[in-house]
Amino acid sequence: MAENDPHAAAHLHRHLHSHLPPDPALRVKALESLVVERGLVAPETLDAWVEVYAEHIGPKRGAQVIARAWTDPGFRARLLDNATDAIAEFDFVGNATGHLKAVENTDTQHNLVVCTLCSCYPFSILGMSPGWYKSAEYRARAVREPRKVLGEFGVSLAPEVSVRVWDSTAELRYLVVPQRPEGTEGWDEARLASIVTRNAMIGTDRDLRTEPA
């Protein structure tokens, strides 16, 4: 197995941005072909990764992290100070969490994550990125008109709530820590984790439901 060199991976990531086609699906195929051709990974290994992250892990790991932050002030402080080290306490170790920053929603600020170059995303704690996150439209409009984009996701913000857009890269990815909903006092971590959505951890969801739809 080839050694994992994060600096080489970051260099390759930047280099590929100027050579890959604009369509996300074509970009994925080009990357897949490249890593297979160079012997960095076997095709069956790629298939296994996709199945694990899409079907078995999904955003459940991230939801556990958020639930812990809601119930443990010490962990919340560590998460906001150094998300990579804090998440390592769960043994959720992977390249996608190796350079991670947690940003917290408040009564006066909402955070939205985008990757304007491609679709960099902390997949090891959020699962596979949704199709819209990889689309050119979202990547462009989230920066230009974030409030309008949020409105299309059903997020209506009061004028006094500012929006900060965070641009993920190969070197730094982001995790939004949503606000804990009222009425969840006394809930344990498992129950809290069950209401945390993947979109809330990207920033396209804000007011989490405490009851089934």
Does 105 share its domain with 189?
Answer: yes
Q: 131 with 66, same domain?
A: yes
The total of structural domains in the chain comes to 2
Q: Which domain holds residue 179?
A: 58-202
Residues 34-43 have a mean pLDDT of 77
Confidence bin at 25 (pLDDT 50/70/90): low
207 occurs within a structural domain: no
Q: Is residue 211 part of a domain?
A: no
Instruction: Please provide the DSSP assignment of 76-131 as one string.
Output: HHHHHH-HHHHHGGGT--SGGGTTEEEEE--SSEEEEEE-SSS----HHHH-SPPH
**Last-in-domain residue among 32, 55, 78:** 55
Res 51: pLDDT: 63
Mean pLDDT of 44-69: 78
- For the stretch 171-203, pLDDT in tens is 899 999 999 999 999 999 999 999 999 999 999
Which pTM was predicted? Answer: 0.75
Higher pLDDT, 96 or 116: 116
Identify whether residues 64 and 32 lie together within a single domain.
no
Residues 82 and 139 in one domain: yes
Catalytic residues: 115, 118-120
**Highest mean pLDDT (candidates 19-33, 86-100, 170-184):** 170-184
Tokens of 13: 């990531």
Q: What is the pLDDT of residue 12?
A: 54
